[in-house]
Amino acid sequence: MASDPEDAELIVSSLSGDEDAFVELVRRHETAVGAYLARRVGRELAEDLLGEVWVAAFTSRANYDRSFPGARPWLFGVAHNAIRRHWRSRPAEQPVADVTPMASRWDPWAAVDSRIDAAPVLRHALAQLRPEQRELLTLVAWEDLTIADAGRVLGMPPGTARRSLHEARMALRHEPGVAALLTDQNMMRKAN
Amino acid sequence: MIDEMDLLSGIKAAEPLRRGAFEDARTVLRAAMDVETAPRTRNALRRRAHWGTRRTAAFGIVAAGAAAAAVAVVVASSPGPAAPTVPASQQAAASSPLLVLAARITASGGSLPGNASLIIRTQTASGIAPDVSYNLYTDDGAFYVGGDKKSLAQAVAKGQNLADGITGAEVKAALYAARGALSAARVQIVDASPNALGLGLPKAEREKIWAKAMAKVRKIYLEKGIKKLPPLPTGKALRALADNYVWNNSVDALSAGAGNPRVRAGVLRLLSTISGVRIAHSAVGGQAVLTLTAGPEVFGGQGEQVLTVNARTGMPVKSVQPADGKVRGSVDTFRVLRVTLADAEAGKL
């Protein structure tokens, strides 16, 4: 039985004129890329940007490194660039977006644990990090990427990505608000 | 033991995208694919209605010649010339927000109610009372103007059709641009108004047209003490002059055909070919918009114009022309409605 073609094969087919192959690639990853965008810019803008991401990916597919069979990190990279372009193109009088847009009105965390509102504390702590550290952390924690793949999204060698992630984790762990959260949560866990 | 990564994972949930959003995004992709694979050969009172003052490029001596020639020479958009290939820079722009928005508008399709577009324009300029005009463009090319519903109704009733043919040609070029090859669409939109550039024609033919135009303006040059007439523009100079025509004529096409989504899509695609246009996301009155700033390079090194369109529909919102030397700054805001000619005549708008 023939197995499904790898992402890289679909990209190669699309370069040979098979447009359906690229649409198949998009179908495979649209939920993940959509969620990636929504976590960073909110649902509404994510819906606006998604088409732009596919067009940009299609336009630049000739540059895809075919030694990577899976294209999801590459697509995250394209989405990452689309978000950066979006923020860059905002007029100067508007505040440059940081992680604030992640604070969607739809926030299930509060329902999970109403006693401790961890989300604002974590968002504040994330905002203190350098952008690439923040992106690495969230790629690993939210998008379930390996450190190497997260580095690939950002064009970072695996060793650099590991080091940067470690630094980011330490910075996050020792941020006062997060440190307090960790203490509380671990104490509650112990008590239970 | 809970660590910082566990905490982070706890806030990963995001509001999911609507199911239709994935389909919309794929439709945008399909539209962009169509563009890439489309065969290259596929196929005075009036000024009152225009948005702000039309800025003709002032490209030094060459511009003076071209601008003057534009008054005297009409180069019809003949169907013959082979369209030049789309430069790599234009193809690379496939991810431009303008192309994406155009693809989205085209993909949304839908039927068009009414048989005319009513553009209610309010122009404010420093030191002048706001000027409101009701501009009615019918789908078959007629154009009526009034200061309010009543005077517009009278103009329609009296058959005061002010169409001069240029607007119709501009709208036609925009309609073509919605799906056609961009290089050919550029030629069409430039040739919608009189010019002596001869875009897309063989060089010998262009030289003839240019020489004829120069002969007509020779006297003006001599009166100004200029003995050497400008040479036929080529290369960057030609591109810059053509960009000026593309901007002006596309904005005119939008002013006349904004009620038609295909015109809006075509205009956005045409404007995406101008490298001197900067795009920014913004918000006006609670609606997401794109601002298109045509910089000085579009106007021969001087001045700029800012067009704002709705980021979801491409519908024009406003046009700003900053004050520049003797040119008074102005802000035009727009309301675009689809109506019927009969309702306009009856004053039922």
- Cβ of B89 under 8 Å from any chain A Cβ? no
Predicted pLDDT at A1: 52
Predicted pLDDT at A37: 95
Contacts (Cβ under 8 Å, ≥6 apart) of B208: none
Predicted pLDDT at B95: 46
Predicted pLDDT at A96: 39
Interatomic CA distance for residues A165 and A133, integer angstroms: 6
Domain CATH number, residue A113: 1.10.10.10
Q: Fill in the amino acid letter for B62.
A: V
Whole-structure pTM value: 0.60
Side-chain-side CA neighbours of residue B116 (13 Å): 22
Q: What does each C-alpha distance from B144 to B22, B151, B174, B337 come to in angstroms?
A: 42, 10, 21, 15
Using one digit for the tens of pLDDT, what is the confidence trace for B278-292?
988 888 877 888 999
Predicted pLDDT at A87: 78
Predicted pLDDT at B110: 65
* Percentage of chain A modeled with pLDDT above 70: 84
Q: Write down the H helix ranges in A63-175.
A: 72-88, 108-112, 118-128, 131-141, 147-153, 158-173
Asked if A89 lies within 8 A of B30 by C-beta distance, the reply is no
Give the sign of the dihedral formed by CA B22, CA B24, CA B26, CA B32: negative
Number of domains in chain A: 2
Same domain for A148 and A191? Answer: yes
Same domain for A125 and A168? Answer: yes
Same domain for A86 and A150? Answer: no
Higher pLDDT, B153 or A98: B153
Asked if B14 lies within 8 A of A38 by C-beta distance, the reply is yes
Same domain for A55 and A96? Answer: yes
pLDDT at A22 over 60: yes
Contact B294, B318 (CB under 8 A): no
Residue stretches of chain B with pLDDT short of 70: 34-95, 110-111, 326-327
Predicted pLDDT at B225: 80
Asked if B280 lies within 8 A of A138 by C-beta distance, the reply is no
Predicted pLDDT at B224: 77
Which of B337, B272, B282 lies closest to B310, judged by CA?
B282
- Cβ of B102 under 8 Å from any chain A Cβ? no
In chain B, residues 50-79 whose CB comes closer than 8 Å to chain A: none
Same domain for A167 and A133? Answer: yes
Contact A65, A58 (CB under 8 A): no
Predicted pLDDT at B73: 29
Q: DSSP code of A100?
A: G
- Cβ of B99 under 8 Å from any chain A Cβ? yes
Q: What does each C-alpha distance from B199 to A80, B82, B205, B277 come to in angstroms?
A: 39, 10, 10, 21
Interatomic CA distance for residues B123 and B99, integer angstroms: 29
> What phi and psi values does residue B288 have, to the nearest 5 degrees?
-70, 135
Same domain for A119 and A97? Answer: no
Same domain for A91 and A112? Answer: no
Same domain for A43 and A96? Answer: yes
Domain CATH number, residue A73: 1.10.1740.10
Predicted pLDDT at B44: 30
Using one digit for the tens of pLDDT, what is the confidence trace for B242-277?
999 999 999 989 988 888 899 999 999 999 999 889
Same domain for A56 and A84? Answer: yes
Task: Read off the pLDDT of each residue in A29-35 and give the average, rounded to a whole number.
Answer: 96
Interatomic CA distance for residues A178 and B285, integer angstroms: 38
Predicted pLDDT at A110: 43
Show the domain range for A158.
107-192
Question: By CB neighbour count within 10 A (0-12 exposed, 13-18 middle, 19+ buried), where does B113 fall?
Answer: exposed
Predicted pLDDT at B314: 92
B96: closest CA of chain A, how far (Å): 8
Asked if B32 lies within 8 A of A104 by C-beta distance, the reply is no
Same domain for A35 and A73? Answer: yes
A63: closest CA of chain B, how far (Å): 13
Q: Which residue has the tokens 């306009």?
A: B344
Side-chain-side CA neighbours of residue B206 (13 Å): 14
Q: Which residue has the tokens 């984790």?
A: A169
Q: Fill in the amino acid letter for B201.
A: L
Higher pLDDT, B113 or A72: A72
What's the ipTM?
0.83
pLDDT at A167 over 90: yes
Same domain for A169 and A191? Answer: yes
Same domain for A4 and A92? Answer: yes
Give the sign of the dihedral formed by CA B215, CA B217, CA B223, CA B225: negative
Secondary structure of chain B in the HEC alphabet?
A: CCCHHHHHHHCCCCCCCCHHHHHHHHHHHHHHHHHHHCCCCCCCCHHHHCCCCCCCCCCHHHHHHHHHHHHHCCCCCCCCCCCCCCCHHHHHHHHCHHHHHHHHHHHHCCCCCCCEEEEEEEEEECCEEEEEEEEEEECCCCEEEECCHHHHHHHHHCCCCCCCCHHHHHHHHHHHHHHCCHHHHHHHHHCCCCCCCCCCCCHHHHHHHHHHHHHHHHHHHHHCCCCCCCCCCCHHHHHHHHHHHHHHHHHHHHHHHCCCHHHHHHHHHHHCCCCCEEEEEEEECCEEEEEEEECHHHHCCCCCEEEEEECCCCCEEEEEECCECCECCEEEEEEEEEECHHHHHCCCC
- Cβ of B269 under 8 Å from any chain A Cβ? no
pLDDT at A70 over 90: yes
> Sheet of B287-294: strands edge to edge?
B143-146, B128-138, B116-125, B330-339, B316-321, B305-310, B287-294, B277-284
For residue B29, give the nearest of A26, A38, A107 by CB distance: A26
Contact A147, B45 (CB under 8 A): no
Predicted pLDDT at B42: 29
